[in-house]
Amino acid sequence: MEFANPWFLLFGILVPIIFWWYFNRGYRNEGTIQFSTIQNFQKIKQLSGTNKVRLLFFFRLVVITLLLIALARPRAILDMKESFRDVVDIVIVLDISGSMKAEDFKPNRLEAAKEEAQEFIKNRDDDRIGLLIFAGESYIQCPSTVDHQVLSNLLSQVAIIDEEHDGTAIGMAIAHCVNRLRKSDAESKVMILLSDGSNNKGELDPLTSAGFAKDYGIKIYTIGVGKRGKAPYPVDDPFFGKRYVQVDVDMDEETLRDVAEKTGGQYFRATNEEQLTKIYEEIDQLERSEIEVTEYTEYSELYAWFLIPALCFGFLEHLLKVIIFRVRT
């Protein structure tokens, strides 16, 4: 607590001085009357005139003290900080083609990618994040939103595409995402594209779509997932049930790298779950906007806590003086 007008408190020094003077010198000047007996006065229960004056004087001192404190304007200090950060618009572009069932990641590539994306979302409290999934075609699973709980729920529902719509249309997915982000008013617009294959569907080449992204100031981070060489792939055998075959990892790393470099992003290769975790953590750190902190002080005025009692004591002193004690001045 502090006082806005502390010099008023200097007058408070006079209060104990007046109090001392009144009770030590003031009484000496009071007149006295001698009586032969006080037997008749012992039956009187009322306050004497001297005690009445003393009580009224005490009330006036209390009023003066409280008024001086109120005039000094006591106030509580509240130090406040406000943080401002530019929102980043992010769209996670996730490959859900049949090859994402490969189990070189546990339980498979898609589920591992979803798990890491969920952790990434949890760390981006204030950003708008959307989700686009693609295989032979691309679909908006969740438009850009700050309601990350809804986004997480929709992400958890993502599954491998059926064979009829299988494929890897990377170029079309990028173009679809650009169409979504181009109208964003965010200072930073980011696309995180995760795939395990090469562009084999769609009418647009990935590098052509990356050129559109560059024109609109959209940065693309690309992530290639899958071990090098061969990977175990589950197959439903009508006679032996589920079994595994070793399939070649067909990933066009060069295109993914060129897409990232063309837009000012980076290309990452994840061959296991630990690497995928580190990649998302690195992207999270790379796309952090600066935080602007504004510090200011707020004051809560406390003078009313002294002014109101002062008025109450003043009114009570006047009531006692005029109506109850009937003291004349």
Task: Read off the pLDDT band of 102 (50, 70, 90).
Answer: very high
Select the highest-mean-pLDDT range: 27-36, 37-46, 191-200.
191-200
26 vs 295, more confident: 295
DSSP three-state, residue 200: coil
Q: What is the average per-residue pLDDT within 66-95?
A: 80
In terms of pLDDT, which residue wins out, 324 or 318? 318
Segment 192-210 mean pLDDT: 94
- For residue 325, pLDDT beyond 70: no
The rounded mean pLDDT for the chain is 83
Q: Are 172 and 201 in contact (CB under 8 A)?
A: yes
Using pLDDT thresholds of 50, 70 and 90, give the confidence band for residue 24. Answer: low
Give tens-digit pLDDT for 230-251. 999 999 887 777 889 999 998 9
Provide the percentage of residues in the chain whose pLDDT is more than 70: 80
Using CA atoms, how far apart are residues 119 and 126, in angstroms rounded to an integer? 15
Q: What is the mean pLDDT of residues 282-288?
A: 87
Higher pLDDT, 70 or 143: 143
Task: Classify domain 87-289 at the CATH class level.
Answer: alpha beta
Q: What is the mean pLDDT of residues 267-276?
A: 95
Predicted structure pTM score: 0.65
Of residues 243 and 8, the one with the higher pLDDT is 243
Average pLDDT over residues 169-176: 96
Q: Which of 3-12, 100-109, 168-177 has the lowest mean pLDDT?
A: 3-12
Instruction: Annotate 231-298 with three-state secondary structure.
Output: EEEEEEECCCEEEEEEEECCCCHHHHHHHHHHCCCCEEEECCHHHHHHHHHHHHHHCCCCEEEEEEEE
List pLDDT tens digits, range 111-164.
999 999 999 999 998 899 999 999 999 999 999 999 999 999 999 999 999 989
Q: Tell me what the mean pLDDT of segment 33-52 comes to.
A: 54
Given the DSSP bridges, would you call strands 128-134 and 88-95 parallel, antiparallel or unpaired? parallel
Q: What is the mean pLDDT of residues 45-61?
A: 64
Percent of the chain exceeding pLDDT 90 equals 51
Q: What count of other Cβ atoms lies within 10 Å of the Cβ of residue 79?
A: 8
Residue ranges per structural domain of the chain: 2-31+44-79+296-324, 87-289
Q: Kindly give, in sequence order, each residue whose CB lies less than 8 Å from that of residue 212, ignoring residues fewer than 6 positions away.
A: 174, 175, 178
CA distance 303 to 286: 51
pLDDT bucket at 35, cuts 50 / 70 / 90: low
pLDDT band at 291 (very low <50, low <70, confident <90, very high): very low
Can you give the pLDDT at residue 6? Answer: 76
